[in-house]
Structure 1
Amino acid sequence: MNPPHIMLIGKVGQVGWELRRALAPMARITCVDFPDIDLTSGDSIRQWVRGSRPDIVINAAAYTAVDKAESEPDKAMAINGVAPGILAEEAKRLNALIVHYSTDYVFDGSSTQPYVETDAPAPLGAYGRSKLAGDQAVQAIGGAYLIFRLCWVYGARGQNFMLTMMRLAREREKLRVVSDQVGCPTWSRVIAEATALALKAATAAPDRQAFSGIYHLAAGGMTSWHGFAQAIINLMPEAEKKCAEIEAISTAEYPTPARRPAYSVLACDKLERTFGLRLPHWEESLRQVLEVGH
């Protein structure tokens, strides 16, 4: 049996880079990213999918500038809301499976217990609304799909909270970090590895459609941004850091253009029931990424 042909969109992002490594042993991969593909252009998207004729389409690309989305809602919606629907439509034409990544920002954060996949979304800002529109567009097409809803993604590459905290800890003696927003910091590598394992199960099944759905995919445990920052800096070598104090502040003390959910913890029981997958505790992954360093 020939390995499946995967079209990976977003090859240089945090998750996309790790996907290339995780999927290489099991598939033939065609990678594409901006500017070669323009996710604001339906013609560009269709041209790439029809030219590649993949068995699996993985959309790891997104407009992720949460605050900037408030002033660029149309661009965020085009990339996050409209493009996934076009990709799903083209995938269905080819009888291909589409994998799409969602976000905890589709919820308003008013819950006091981990969100499950069936909880009603209520995004607080333009970014969350655009991502929710993308989820709904993929579902509406009715093809075979896997939507993985992620939370607080970080890794050794790209732009993310961990790398920002490490940089600031080298530059400043004191940091101020929000302590009243709670979530599940999730390493991009474990996201990619879980995606690969889920794809193996779905593609081996007689009916891939039976796996179609939204799955929460997040690390075990929970913490605040302040707790995450403290853990990152504690694990940094002493010689590398200047920071000696991390002050806990409220969201109100750190105003941003976009409102953030106060509680972003995702329950991942469905992922475990369906695929037998449970991601490591966030502290275990953080320790590993800082030790591995690449």
Structure 2
Amino acid sequence: MSVSLRSLLAVTAVGLALVSAPSAFADGKVKAVASFSILGDMVSRVGGDLVEVTTIVGPNSDTHVYEPKPADATALAATQVFFVNGLGFEGWMERLVESTGFKGETVVASTGITPRTMMEEGAEETDPHAWQNLSNGLVYVNNIAEGLCKADAADCDTFKKNAATYAAEISARDAEVKAKIATVPEAKRKVITSHDAFGYFGAAYGVTFLAPEGISTESEASAADVAKLIEQVRKEGVTALFVENMSDPRLIEQIAKETGVKPGGALYADALSEKGEGGGTYLDMFKHNISLLVPAMAGS
């Protein structure tokens, strides 16, 4: 089935799903929808028991290539506030909103962040992975709190208190990440990952990330690009090579085979893990990633 036909069927199913959409506030809680798992966790932390969060793209799943399902339309039709990352991350988002006739508040969590841009195939592209810098995570938290306050002004003080507590935890994790990265000599801070999802992390914490694919997993790495990357790994002695939990591992496996560098495990890039797998929350994601990155970069 072609992509266009799948999209048409998805939109048709979305419209049908709206017929039986439930009431938005049946149990007294604010109903919120988040576009992907990392954002869903952040909304849950700020909202606490006062908010019921539905996540569209779940753990270990790729938001770049996601196609909306009828259940997503049902959830969006029954919600008061829709949290999205923005920066072009959810290429399917506008189509979903238009097809459902959603009239609630859409909160772009990355609002206020200066986006990174990069050249891909001769064109400037925006890097949407802003959450990979924990300082940007603080901006997300503030935007989430403001969005929930608009949806439920009576509980705004609680949302702000939750946000302040969460922000303190994020800042503490940020300091921890910086301290651990600092133990690795700058010359060794080079990492290969599946796609270019760690640009914000690299800029914030002084790590160079290289990837065979661009900022979206929809892009395809050319044979020349892969060969160039393999040569760079050999020349510069890169020892940190990782797959991502939501990406196809075959390119990384090819690089490992050609260079003899053993993959160091899976990093959480665009999605959390399932609960209990080590990256079930935004904060756990950084803890997990750092626990793998530091020894791999150091060559230990």
Task: Specify the TM-score bucket, using the shorter chain as the normaliser.
Answer: 0.3 to 0.5
TM-score by length of 1: 0.36
Q: Of the two structures, which has the highest relative contact order with CA contacts closer than 8 Å and spacing of 6 or more? A: 1
The structure carrying a bigger helix percent of its residues is 2
Q: Which structure would you say has the larger Rg? A: 2
Q: So what's the TM-score if we normalise by structure 2?
A: 0.36
